[in-house]
Structure 1
Amino acid sequence: MNISLHMERLILTGVDLPSSQRGLLQASVEAELSRLLSEGGVGAGLARGALLSQLDGPPIEITAGADPVQLGRQIAQSVYGGIAP
């Protein structure tokens, strides 16, 4: 199964992430989401080609000075929580 996911925008309210760490965050989100999708797949609707214009995943708890790699994993897990089977 081929899965195509396009995230136009990711809004992180109250997160102070230096621009130098945004690449790490993005790579971490992509890697973790790829792992979750390959291991667990998607819900039946999405598997049939349904589109989502917006996704509200489960909330995550962010601590000050959060590591961008760990934060990326948490974000990916939240996104996956909104599309998981």
Structure 2
Amino acid sequence: MILRQLVCNNSDQLMMVFTEPEAQDFWLKPGEEVTVQAEASKVGAQFEISFVGEGIVFFPDYDTGYISVWKDGQELGCGYQRPENWP
């Protein structure tokens, strides 16, 4: 089973989507949206989600696998649209 969560940046600023435990960052421009997804081994599996100053962090629970981020049917790579001044 694939667990999916749509993420939309409805702000007027760049927004970070961060996935753990791999510490991958993806940056959304205003109005942009992506789908965060992971393989789930059980019905009822879910992401743990935390909101931070620059965006949102996704953690897998015990019943989910690797978390990936997709846009328009393409898997995005770590650092997607990362700002130059970001640590």
**TM bucket by the smaller chain?**
under 0.3
| Structure 1 or 2: more helix by fraction | 1
Q: Answer 1 or 2: higher relative contact order, Cα 8 Å, separation at least 6.
A: 1
| Structure 1 or 2: more strand by fraction | 2
TM-score (norm 2): 0.27
TM-score (norm 1): 0.27
